[in-house]
Amino acid sequence: MALSFDQVIEKYEPTLGLEVHVELNTKSKMFCGCATTFGAEPNTQVCPVCLGLPGALPAVNAKAIESSIKIGLALNCKISPFNRFARKNYFYPDMPKNFQTSQYDEPICYDGYLDVEIDTDEGKKTFRVEIERVHMEEDTGKSLHVGGATGRIHGADYSLLDYNRAGIPLVEIVTKMVKGTGKYAPEVAKAYVTALRDILRSLEVSDVKMEQGSLRCDANLSLAPINSNTLGTRSETKNVNSLRSVERAVRGEMIRQGNLLESGGKVIQETRHFLEESGETRPGRSKEQAEDYRYFQEPDLLPVAPESKWVEEIRNSLPEKPAVRRKRLQAEWQVPDKEFDAMLNADLLEEVVQTVAAGADPTRARSWWLGEISRLANEAGKSPAELISTVDVATVIKLIEQGELTDKLARQVVEGVINKEGTPQEVIVKRNLKVVSDDSALMKAIEEAIAAQPDTAQRVRDGNIPAAGALIGAVMKSTGGQADAAKVRQLLLKHLGQG
Ligand code: ZN
Ligand code: MN
């Protein structure tokens, strides 16, 4: 009988560890001047240094050091005044040098923390995730396995290698062991990666696109019997490529390990791959121990010794923290907790911020992104931001505010923009969606409505104002929804002696 998640956490306590790799958005690579553009023709952004050719000498990218310090400071880390690179030796075809230039026992930043807030049974609760280290290293190339059913090397006919990514600056952020999360371990893991992504985005040091691999998370997890004071053997689930998957991967691994332990089995220390479809993990290679990498100090690079004056300058230039910014925006926009959380959960905060920055009212901006646009995105199987630009949404909202579009017409404009019929203004012209605000045209429609419902009109004349609703509805109908309802109401009541 398999244990459910709830049964697992009755007996076992999880310990989490999260390793996040971030690709920095520097224009050039970590140790050479090669470009870093995503999606370029394979092997067009390479040179003797990043190909590891004999005699080529690396030099550290100063911008990458600055970005790493920014990340460390934003994560409340200490910045090492003197740190060095090391060679991490292993053979893999996507790594032309046969070692990765990384940092080992001397990381640039260490001893920080990130507080994350999650919903628990007792309301919102903050968990502190301690950061062990933030270190600099370089990315590997990419391999493409051709032939075979799975796209993996097993069963492939041949493999192709693209070294464009080899040498792109990476920062690796490693947490200390996260204990005491109990049944909230999956949520804490997700909240941590989310908060980290938001910080990295606010620092403008990375694209932080999990789906493109510029933010990659490995989740370590072990279980130990509750109150045992021991530590179980951990597994490492690799390259979980969405925020939702982080949560699912931890949950799935807790269930797998719990059932394994319960049946008398042993967890082995290994790398596992997350399967997006099932939410389960499957084994990869057994995990190397640090000593297997034969780390040694990199002889071709000088130590990194950031001056404290520079570090303080960077500290003073850090942007507002995302958590602080969220609180400020919520207060400015006067949004209740529940609705603000809905926007965060839908990952639409940045869209709303940009729409407001383009001149739209915050309440309308939220309602359009979370309502109509999310609905259309859902139908299309895309993310809302892929459908329409924030500038176009702001334009539509401003036209509503100016009375040139009704909500109904605006929905048609948005639909047209999404269908690539042009800008909002072009769609309005093409589909003839202008609001009828011409008084004489509206009066004609009003008189027709009164003629068709003389009894209703008489009730309004006699002072029954709510009865006007039926007449306004008739006018809206006869104008195809293109009339401004407020204006119709005003003209109608005036015409019937109630204005
Ligand atoms: Zn290069
Ligand atoms: Mn690494």
pLDDT tens digits for range 359-396: 999 999 999 999 999 999 999 988 899 999 999 999 99
Alpha carbon of 304 to ligand 1 centroid (Å): 20
Let me know whether 288 and 348 are in one domain: no
Alpha carbon of 166 to ligand 2 centroid (Å): 13
Alpha carbon of 139 to ligand 1 centroid (Å): 12
Alpha carbon of 24 to ligand 1 centroid (Å): 16
Alpha carbon of 384 to ligand 2 centroid (Å): 33
Q: What is the mean pLDDT of residues 173-199?
A: 97
Let me know whether 51 and 196 are in one domain: yes
> Other CB atoms closer than 10 Å to residue 350's CB: what's the count?
12
Confidence band for 1, pLDDT divided at 50, 70 and 90: low
What does the pLDDT read at residue 154?
81
What is the C-alpha to C-alpha distance for residues 38 and 455, in angstroms, rounded to an integer?
69
Q: What is the mean pLDDT of residues 323-337?
A: 94
- The mean pLDDT of the chain is 93
Let me know whether 127 and 195 are in one domain: yes
Q: What is the mean pLDDT of residues 266-270?
A: 91
Answer yes or no: is pLDDT of 308 > 90: yes
What does the pLDDT read at residue 290?
67
Which residues place a Cβ less than 5 A from the ion ligand 1? 32, 34, 47, 49-50
First-to-last alpha carbon distance for the chain, in angstroms, is: 75
What is the C-alpha to C-alpha distance for residues 71 and 65, in angstroms, rounded to an integer?
10
Alpha carbon of 348 to ligand 1 centroid (Å): 37
Q: What is the pTM of this model?
A: 0.80
Task: Print the domain residue range for 489.
Answer: 439-495
Confidence band for 480, pLDDT divided at 50, 70 and 90: confident
CA separation (Å) from 302 to 48, 55, 71, 85, 298? 19, 16, 22, 8, 8
Q: What is the mean pLDDT of residues 481-498?
A: 86
Alpha carbon of 219 to ligand 2 centroid (Å): 13
Domain boundary among 281, 311, 341: 311
Smallest-distance ligand from the CA of 140? 2
Alpha carbon of 168 to ligand 1 centroid (Å): 9
User: Strands 215-225 and 235-240: what pairing?
Assistant: antiparallel
What does the pLDDT read at residue 439?
79
Alpha carbon of 21 to ligand 2 centroid (Å): 7
**pLDDT tens digits, 29-71:** 999 999 999 889 999 999 999 999 999 999 999 999 999 999 9
Alpha carbon of 200 to ligand 1 centroid (Å): 25
Alpha carbon of 90 to ligand 1 centroid (Å): 20
Q: How many domains does the chain have?
A: 3
Let me know whether 447 and 328 are in one domain: no
Smallest-distance ligand from the CA of 35? 1
Let me know whether 444 and 426 are in one domain: no
State whether residue 146 is helix, strand or coil. strand
**Helix ranges restricted to H, 149-294:** 185-203, 243-262
* Residue with more model confidence, 20 or 277: 20
Alpha carbon of 408 to ligand 2 centroid (Å): 52
Answer yes or no: is pLDDT of 332 > 80: yes
Smallest-distance ligand from the CA of 217? 2
Answer yes or no: is pLDDT of 287 > 70: no
CA separation (Å) from 232 to 7, 11, 156? 18, 13, 36
Domain boundary among 311, 336, 356: 311
Smallest-distance ligand from the CA of 141? 1
Alpha carbon of 430 to ligand 1 centroid (Å): 50
Let me know whether 297 and 412 are in one domain: no
Confidence band for 406, pLDDT divided at 50, 70 and 90: confident
Q: What is the mean pLDDT of residues 222-232?
A: 92
User: Strands 270-274 and 235-240: what pairing?
Assistant: parallel
Q: With beta carbons less than 8 A apart as the criterion, state whether 103 and 87 touch.
A: no
Q: With beta carbons less than 8 A apart as the criterion, state whether 171 and 21 touch.
A: yes
Q: What is the mean pLDDT of residues 193-198?
A: 95
**pLDDT tens digits, 84-100:** 999 999 888 889 999 99
Domain boundary among 311, 334, 357: 311
**What would the DSSP string read from start to end of 263-304?**
TT-----EEEEE-TTTS-EEEEEEPPPGGGG--EE-TTSPPB
Q: What is the mean pLDDT of residues 7-23?
A: 97
CA separation (Å) from 275 to 190, 238, 249? 17, 10, 8
Let me know whether 153 and 77 are in one domain: yes
**pLDDT tens digits, 421-462:** 999 999 999 998 877 777 788 888 899 999 999 999 999 999
Q: What is the mean pLDDT of residues 157-178?
A: 96
Alpha carbon of 52 to ligand 1 centroid (Å): 9
Let me know whether 246 and 372 are in one domain: no
Smallest-distance ligand from the CA of 45? 1
Q: Which of 16, 14, 17, 15 is nearest to 173 (CA)?
A: 17
Alpha carbon of 452 to ligand 2 centroid (Å): 76
What is the C-alpha to C-alpha distance for residues 48 and 68, in angstroms, rounded to an integer?
25
Alpha carbon of 89 to ligand 1 centroid (Å): 19
Smallest-distance ligand from the CA of 46? 1
What is the C-alpha to C-alpha distance for residues 215 and 349, in angstroms, rounded to an integer?
19
* Residue with more model confidence, 281 or 264: 264
Provide CB contacts within 8 A for 135, sequence distance 6+.
Answer: 68, 102, 103, 107, 108, 109, 171, 172, 174
Alpha carbon of 303 to ligand 1 centroid (Å): 21
Let me know whether 50 and 135 are in one domain: yes
